């Protein structure tokens, strides 16, 4: 089968910049990556073809020779399938593929900076844990301390976390030589996978610890005191470092994330650091005005002056009676929505007085509508 023009392979013009060539190569390589197309010979061929085209067109000297003399111009310069020239294309993967570089590292035999099991920087970190904690509205407002109990993986005391019977220790895995990975070659490609003998740890034990079965960690029930800061909101989390699962092989423990769920209050609702409530008053209190006592978050009552002629739905504000701002001396406000409570039943004497009031006020039997926006 005749070879296709390299520019045609990458779908770029002959005046394409190096960046354009890289972008085009990246798109084709990702689409035809063998990990995404297992067993697809055509995808594998397209992948090879794109690599060959990129290897030539990304090199200024080779590209110039190719533009002048075609395929003949790059013969003997490292271009073409199976030649050493492909190594430069593969060395450029980290630059070309960015976030995809991890995929290609394992695929093409990279990853020299990773630790055991393919993880960077040595032993794997322990897993983070989540604990969902319910607290009252007032505890969230003013803060509290809570002890939580949960299960985590802790270092095995019998073996000191090594996973081996005391005195026997661990040794380098004979299958992967400590790499944590094994490779298999399939023609043009070399694919890495987790070592089946050591499960990616890179080491094995001859005499596993009987307490932890060689894992180095055991399940343990643990209690931790959690400080809830004043003003915490529903859904916020508190992170307790190093209280998650212990890591195997001496890695850093994970963290414990305590997610706070605030229970609703009987009277108050929260918006940001402000709280809202509704307070009923009588018809006469609304008309004549009054001094009333309303409950606040701290359990005490605050004096509120109701102006004469207060309308149903009017909102009054009490400054600094809301939720504290986390790690601050400031607090939100409390907003009171007035609910004028009209009696459903009135006595005979009350009816007479209300009728007399209606006559004095000249109340109309056929009032005109008021726009909703004015209410």
Is the pLDDT assigned to residue 167 strictly greater than 50? yes
Per-residue pLDDT, averaged over 67-93, amounts to: 56
Cα distance between residue 148 and residue 221, in whole Å? 10
pLDDT given at position 44: 85
Residue 374's pLDDT band, with cuts at 50, 70 and 90, is low
Question: pLDDT digit string (tens) for 218-256?
Answer: 999 999 999 999 999 999 999 999 999 998 766 789 999
pLDDT given at position 106: 41
Question: pLDDT digit string (tens) for 135-146?
Answer: 999 999 999 999
Cα distance between residue 176 and residue 169, in whole Å? 18
Residue 95's pLDDT band, with cuts at 50, 70 and 90, is very low
Residue 58 DSSP code: T
Is the pLDDT assigned to residue 118 strictly greater than 90? no
Cα distance between residue 25 and residue 28, in whole Å? 5
Query: Residue 304: which of 286, 291, 322 has the closest Cα?
Result: 291
Residues of the chain with CATH 2.60.260.20: 269-374
Is the pLDDT assigned to residue 117 strictly greater than 70? no
Cα distance between residue 51 and residue 108, in whole Å? 13
Is the pLDDT assigned to residue 78 strictly greater than 60? no
Is the pLDDT assigned to residue 308 strictly greater than 80? yes
pLDDT: which is higher, 44 or 291: 291
pLDDT given at position 109: 40
Is the pLDDT assigned to residue 84 strictly greater than 70? no
Domain at 129-262, CATH class: mainly beta
Under CATH, which architecture does the 269-374 domain have?
Answer: Sandwich (2.60)
Residue 214's pLDDT band, with cuts at 50, 70 and 90, is confident
Give the lowest-confidence range in 13-27, 107-121, 168-182, 260-274. 107-121
pLDDT: which is higher, 1 or 318: 318
What are 290's two structure tokens?
């009054």
pLDDT given at position 283: 87
Per-residue pLDDT, averaged over 259-268, amounts to: 94
pLDDT given at position 154: 93
Is the pLDDT assigned to residue 373 strictly greater than 80? no
Give the lowest-confidence range in 22-36, 223-237, 320-334, 357-371. 357-371
pLDDT: which is higher, 85 or 308: 308
Residue 74's pLDDT band, with cuts at 50, 70 and 90, is confident
Per-residue pLDDT, averaged over 53-75, amounts to: 83
- Cβ 181 vs Cβ 175: under 8 Å: no
Per-residue pLDDT, averaged over 323-333, amounts to: 91
Residues of the chain with CATH 1.10.287.110: 6-110
- Cα–Cα distance list, 331 to 65, 230, 326, 328 (Å): 73, 10, 9, 8
pLDDT: which is higher, 256 or 105: 256
Task: Calculate the CA dihedral of residues 171, 177, 179, 184 and round it to 10 degrees.
Answer: -140
pLDDT: which is higher, 162 or 83: 162
CATH superfamily ID and name for 6-110: DnaJ domain (1.10.287.110)
Give the lowest-confidence range in 46-55, 205-214, 294-303, 332-341. 205-214
pLDDT given at position 375: 54
- Cβ 29 vs Cβ 52: under 8 Å: no
Residues of the chain with CATH 2.10.230.10: 129-262
What are 306's two structure tokens?
């109701």
Per-residue pLDDT, averaged over 49-73, amounts to: 85
Cα distance between residue 134 and residue 115, in whole Å? 40
- Stated pTM of the model: 0.59
Average pLDDT, the chain: 81
Is the pLDDT assigned to residue 313 strictly greater than 50? yes
């Amino acid at each position: 089968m005749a070879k296709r023009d390299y520019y045609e392979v990458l779908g770029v013009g002959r005046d394409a910049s190096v960046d354009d060539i890289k972008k085009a190569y990246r798109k084709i390589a990702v689409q035809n990556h063998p990990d995404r197309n297992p067993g697809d010979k055509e995808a594998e061929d397209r992948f090879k073809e794109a690599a060959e085209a990129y290897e030539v067109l990304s090199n200024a000297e080779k590209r110039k020779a190719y533009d002048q003399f075609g395929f003949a111009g790059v013969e003997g310069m490292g271009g073409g399938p199976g030649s050493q020239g492909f190594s430069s294309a593969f060395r450029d993967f980290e630059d070309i593929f960015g976030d995809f570089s991890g995929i290609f590292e394992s695929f093409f035999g990279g990853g020299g900076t990773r630790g055991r099991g393919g993880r960077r920087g040595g032993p794997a970190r322990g897993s983070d844990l989540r604990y969902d904690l319910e607290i009252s509205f007032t505890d969230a407002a003013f803060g509290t301390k809570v002890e939580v109990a949960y299960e985590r993986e802790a270092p095995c005391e019998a073996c000191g976390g090594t996973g081996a019977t005391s005195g026997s220790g661990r040794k380098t895995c004979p299958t992967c030589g400590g790499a944590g990975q094994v490779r298999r070659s399939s023609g043009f490609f070399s694919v890495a996978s987790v070592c089946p003998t050591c499960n990616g740890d890179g080491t094995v034990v001859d005499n596993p610890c009987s307490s932890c079965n060689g894992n180095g960690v055991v399940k343990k029930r643990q209690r931790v005191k959690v400080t809830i800061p004043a003003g915490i909101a529903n859904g916020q989390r508190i992170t307790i470092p190093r209280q998650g699962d212990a890591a195997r092989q001496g890695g850093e423990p994970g963290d414990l994330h305590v997610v706070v769920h605030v229970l609703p209050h009987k009277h108050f609702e929260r918006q940001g650091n402000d709280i809202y409530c509704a307070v009923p008053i009588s018809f006469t209190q609304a008309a004549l005005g009054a001094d009333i006592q309303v409950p606040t978050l701290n359990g005490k009552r605050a004096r509120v002056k109701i102006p004469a002629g207060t309308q149903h739905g009017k909102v009054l504000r009490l400054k600094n009676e809301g939720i504290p701002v986390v790690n601050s001396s400031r607090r939100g406000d409390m907003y009171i929505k007035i609910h004028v409570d009209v009696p459903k039943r009135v006595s005979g004497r009350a009816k007479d007085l209300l009728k007399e009031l209606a006559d004095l006020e000249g109340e109309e039997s056929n009032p005109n509508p008021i726009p909703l926006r004015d209410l």
